[in-house]
Amino acid sequence: MESEASMFETCEIMAALLGSSPLLSQSWSLCSATAPETFTAELIGDVAYVAFSAVQVLPLARGGRELVALEGEAEELFRPLNRHREELRPPPMADSGLLRIFLNIFTHQNLSQKMTRIMQKSKSIVITGHSLGGAAATLCTLWLLSFFHSKTTHQPLLCITFGSPLIGNESLSRAILRERWCGNFCHVVSNHDIMPRLFSTPLSPQLHVLLRYWHLSMVSPQFGKLATQLSQREKDELFQAVLAHFDMISNSGEGSERSQFWPLGNFFFCSENGAICLDNAMSVMKMLYLMLKTSAPNFSIEDHLNYGDYVKEVGIQHMERKSFTSECLLPDSSYEAGLALAIQSSGIPFQEEVARMAENSLRTARRMGLKPTLSVAKLAISLSKITPYRAEIEWYKASCDEADNQLGYYDCFKRVDASVRQARVNMNRHKLATFWNRVIDRWENNELPPDFNIRAKWVNASHSYKLLVEPLDIAEYYRRGKHLVHGHYLKHGRERRYEIFDKWWRGKEIREQGNTQSQRMKYAGLTQDSCFWARLEEARDLLESIKCEGDVRKLALIWKSLENFERYARGLIERKEVSKDAVAKNSSYTLWAQELRALKLNM
| Catalytic annotation, residues | 131, 193, 304
DSSP annotation of 184 reads G
Query: CA-to-CA distance for 294 and 115, rounded, in angstroms?
Result: 41
* Type of residue at 536: L
Residue 40, SS3? strand
CA angle, corner 111, sides to 107 and 117, nearest 5?
A: 145
Contact between 570 and 529 (Cβ < 8 Å):
no
Query: Residues with Cβ < 8 Å from 24, sequence gap 6 or more?
Result: 18, 160, 188, 311, 314, 315
278 bridge partner residues: 267
Beta strands in 47-121 (DSSP E): 47-52, 67-69, 93-95
Find out whether 191 and 291 touch, Cβ atoms under 8 Å: yes
- Residue 124 contacts residue 47 (beta carbons within 8 Å): yes
DSSP letter at 452? G
Q: How far apart are CA 160 and CA 126, in angstroms?
A: 7
**409 DSSP β-pair partners:** none
Cα separation of the two ends of the chain: 77
What span, in angstroms and rounded, lies between the C-alpha atoms of 116 and 110? 10
**DSSP secondary structure, 303-338, as one string:** GGG-HHHHHHHHHHHHHSPP---TTSPPPSSHHHHH
Residue 72, classified by CB atoms within 10 Å of its CB into exposed (0-12), middle (13-18) or buried (19+), is: exposed
Beta strand pairing call for 185-190 and 157-162: parallel
